[in-house]
Amino acid sequence: MSLRALSTAVTGMRAQQANVDVIANNIANVNTTGFKKVRARFEDLFYQQIRRAGGQALEGRVTPTGIEIGTGVRLAGTFRDFRSGSPFETRAPLDLFIDGEGFFQVRTFQNEIGYTRDGSFGLDAEGNIVTKDGFLMEPNAQVDLTTVIAIQISREGIIETIDQSGDRSQVGQIELVRFPNPGGLEARGDNILLETEASGPPATGTPGQDGFGTTMQGFVEESNVDIVEELVSLIAAQRAFEVNSNSIKVADQMWQVANTLRQ
């Protein structure tokens, strides 16, 4: 067991620690509305070429295999799984579930446009439709709080109010967006994702048209985290961490034996 092996074991422990952190975050957000689970992706590091495959052997023959010794593993990136979660009925008039593809648009306090699958909306003091954190829905829709007694939202995203006389008024139209590469979106917390160069520009559309999902009033989207799957992955990551740490113990024992032989 060489110093190279020690370094390899250390990189393995670091990679599995990152894996545990990702899994723990998934488990922590199992009840977060609209949360999408994340997976860690790994790649092997460079190899020391002791003998190249296809090199010249005795009598002009070619070696069928080479000798390569790897130097460990590293975290290559994280992948967000955008498969839809299950609808959960709340019966709240401004809770919305996207049945299919798309994101809601909201305007943050930094005047940025954020994107979310969390359809837990409500009304602020001025009648604007806002998120739990007070971010305005985009495009904005405003309700007259003095006369409205009910709000109805169709599967096509049309927002209508019903006043005390029973008259209906359309006060807004929900627009959804999608991205060429949603995995490139940047998570900023508060159930908000931001556009990046990797995600590509957003394409806007109406619910139920051009492949966009429809809106379901009175429902929100549950997290797509499978708690059993995450616990199994957590155990596997812990065991991999332990095995890498045991490699360091074995290396130490081998060095002790080598030192004894020299004496």
Cβ contacts of 160 within 8 Å, gap of 6 or more: 151, 152, 153, 154, 168, 169, 170, 171
Is 143 found in the same domain as 50?
Answer: no
Is 216 found in the same domain as 93?
Answer: yes
Is the Cα torsion angle 194, 195, 199, 201 positive or negative in sign? positive
Is 105 found in the same domain as 216?
Answer: yes
Is 142 found in the same domain as 61?
Answer: no
Residue-number span of the structural domain to which 179 is assigned: 87-221
Mean of the per-residue pLDDT values of the chain:
90
Is 176 found in the same domain as 109?
Answer: yes
Is 131 found in the same domain as 213?
Answer: yes
Per-residue pLDDT tens over the stretch 187-232: 999 999 999 999 999 999 999 999 999 999 999 999 999 999 999 9
pLDDT at 51 over 80: no
**What count of other Cβ atoms lies within 10 Å of the Cβ of residue 262?**
5
pLDDT at 1 over 60: no
Domain count, the chain: 2
Is 202 found in the same domain as 216?
Answer: yes
Is 150 found in the same domain as 73?
Answer: no
Is 138 found in the same domain as 26?
Answer: no
H or E element: which one contains 261? helix 227-262
Supply the pLDDT for residue 263: 55
Is 197 found in the same domain as 130?
Answer: yes
User: Is omega for the bond preceding 139 within 30 degrees of 0, making it cis?
Assistant: yes
Chain center to CA of 106? 19
Per-residue pLDDT tens over the stretch 235-262: 999 999 988 888 777 766 777 777 777 5
Per-residue pLDDT tens over the stretch 72-114: 888 999 999 999 999 999 999 999 999 999 999 999 999 999 9
Is 241 found in the same domain as 211?
Answer: no
Q: What is the mean pLDDT of residues 144-158?
A: 95
